[in-house]
Amino acid sequence: AMNRTVRVSDRPVTMQGMRGMQSTSQGARQVQDISYYIGVLQNKINELNNEVKNLDDMVEEQNSEMSELGTMTRRHENLLNEVRQLEGRLADYNLAMDKARVGTDPNELEEYVKEYQAKNERMAENVDKIFVAKKRKDDEIKTIEIQISKLHQEAQKKN
């Protein structure tokens, strides 16, 4: 019964740096029980939680940037108004300097200033008149709307 011939080439070579028979699994788990799937799910849950945290951080950062944007926009508008006012003053000073260089009489400059002050006062009076007229019209409109509403309510009661 032991009459078999053994060929050395059929046996795997071991311990000489060459690998013997290789398994096809290559380190992968062949039997996957419930604990394996629980581990996989826990890894995926951790990944999702990390991604949610990253997204929350991004939203918080964007919200803070938006509030900063609003603050900066208001500051920009304030500075822009200040620059316009300063430019107006500079134009006035430049005009005065030009008049002084040309040799304009100071009395002429005073009359020029008085003329513009009078013109500004007339414009302010006109603006005030327009505002009062608009206010009066708004009040009239409100009164008429109240009357219309009362008439509408009376008509609804009759029906």
pLDDT along the chain (159 residues), means of 10: 61 55 55 85 96 96 90 93 93 84 78 90 93 95 95 89
Could you identify the residue written with the tokens 């603006």? 127
**Residue 20: predicted pLDDT:** 52
Tokens, residue 52:
């949610």
**Residue 6: predicted pLDDT:** 61
The answer, as to whether pTM is greater than 0.75, is no
**Segment holding 39, helix H or strand E:** helix 34-102
Q: How far apart are CA 68 and CA 65, in angstroms?
A: 5
Q: At what angle are helices 106-158 and 34-102 packed, to 10 degrees?
A: 140
Contact 44, 35 (CB under 8 A): no
Could you identify the residue written with the tokens 């409100």? 142
Helix, strand and coil content of the chain, in percent to the nearest 5, comes to: 80, 0, 20
Contact 13, 20 (CB under 8 A): yes
**Residue 24: predicted pLDDT:** 52
Q: How far apart are CA 46 and CA 143, in angstroms?
A: 66
